[in-house]
Amino acid sequence: MYCHNCGTQIDDQAVICVHCGVKTVNAKTLVDSQAKSKLVGGLLGIFLGALGIHNFYLGYTQKAIVQLLLSTVGWIAFGLGPLIASIWGLIEGIQILTGSISTDAEGRELRD
């Protein structure tokens, strides 16, 4: 681990850099301010998954558009489109909540 202020190599358990005296930033406690919520993504998948809302939220735009079209236009195919999109969204919502899907489209870890 390196000090974010002076760049000196420091122990990963260090609280203060011994070279410059600045408080260190521990990667384990650092919270990504742009990280998406796992709970929000999972619940959107379970309740609005047929419309792909959870994938829009996580940044998977192409997959979200496919789910949205499957739900809205898929009723033409004997009503199977919305059913398939609903099951797909439910499964993805559960996967998000259980951690099987743990990153957004940009590769950031979802926060709890």
Same domain, 67 and 93: yes
pLDDT tens sequence for the chain (112 residues)? 777 788 888 887 888 888 888 887 665 545 567 889 999 999 999 999 999 999 999 999 999 999 999 999 987 877 889 999 999 999 999 999 999 999 999 888 999 8
Does 109 fall in a domain? Answer: no
C-alpha closest to that of 77 among 85, 87, 54: 85
- Those residues whose C-beta lies under 8 Å from the C-beta of residue 28, and which sit 6 or more positions away, are none
Q: First CA to last CA across the chain, in angstroms?
A: 25
Same domain, 43 and 88: yes
Does 76 fall in a domain? Answer: yes
Looking at the whole model, is its pTM more than 0.75? Answer: no
How far are the Cα atoms of 6, 46, 47 from residue 58, in angstroms, in the given order?
A: 35, 14, 15
Structural domain total, the chain: 2
Domain that holds residue 49: 38-98
What's the pLDDT tens digit per position in 14-38? 888 888 888 876 655 455 678 899 9
DSSP bridge partners of 2: 9
